[in-house]
Amino acid sequence: MNKLTVQSLQWTGTALKVLDQRQLPDICRYDEYSDAAGVAEAIATMRVRGAPAIGIAAAYGVVLSAYRHYSATADNWRQQVAADIDRLAKSRPTAVNLFTALDRMSAVLGLVSADPLVALLACAEKIHADDIAANYKMGELGADLLTGAKGILTHCNTGALATGGYGTALGVIRSAYQRQPVHIYADETRPWLQGARLTVWELAQDGIPSTLIADSAAAWLMKSGTVDWVIVGADRIAANGDSANKIGTYSLAVLARQHGVKFMVVAPTTTIDWTIDSGAQIAIEERHQNELLPACYFGADSLVRAWNPVFDVTPAELISAIVTERGVILNPSTQGVRSLQ
């Protein structure tokens, strides 16, 4: 197992340190949070982002809530922790890992009759450790599919910054690069530029070379024949294999099909929402239009508006393989992902 060179989250024992990804690559700064409200704000403001990392951060947020509110003499500490869990659940709507982690923490809370602190921390630490272990497993399983690949294109950031460590799609890329030379391309990933600010920076920390491209250059790159696979992560996967991911992913899947390029989705099974049958049921988060608009258009009387969805859904029929820690599903449109349950 390779040493983690990048960590987005660090538990200190009394607080959660979050690498403020908005400042990268220019500034590498950790903010420290000692309550659930701070963790919820860190998630909502994208200091921490990436579905698995969001879930892990939220789990530690519940621990911090219990640290703050639990007392053997307090009658209402459970209600206060429950309110913090609700606050954390409202921080980002699309990443199912958030709700999976909070459900696990709530289940632990429901089982303890007295001091919950040890049990809650153990659950949060297990969620974190399990994600790291899953990343390494997915890295190897995904790399097995890439034998002979010369070029890989990825979108957004799916590495150690977006997970407990190592990464989902970027974990596969890391594992593949260790086996054979491969040219790695990264989309800028507008409008937050996670590819430009995070992915190529993270790869550089591991000594892995990469080439950054504008999102709009992806079609021409594929037409050149230098890309064999597009590899992306996911924020929510429906039972039929439809996958929600960072806006622009669907476009890449359509382009990949047009150019005969294979398309891989890499995500832990915590990202699968077994309760929904298709991607049509996935709620797509829309962020404030001012993230796109120049300041001159901010006024109430402006004739210019912006539409700012931050995710889209790729239909299963455009996906060549879904890689999870429990196994690989090839051509998921024929069977969905229920065989992984």
- Show which residues are catalytic: 235
Cα within 13 Å of Cα(274), Cβ side: 8
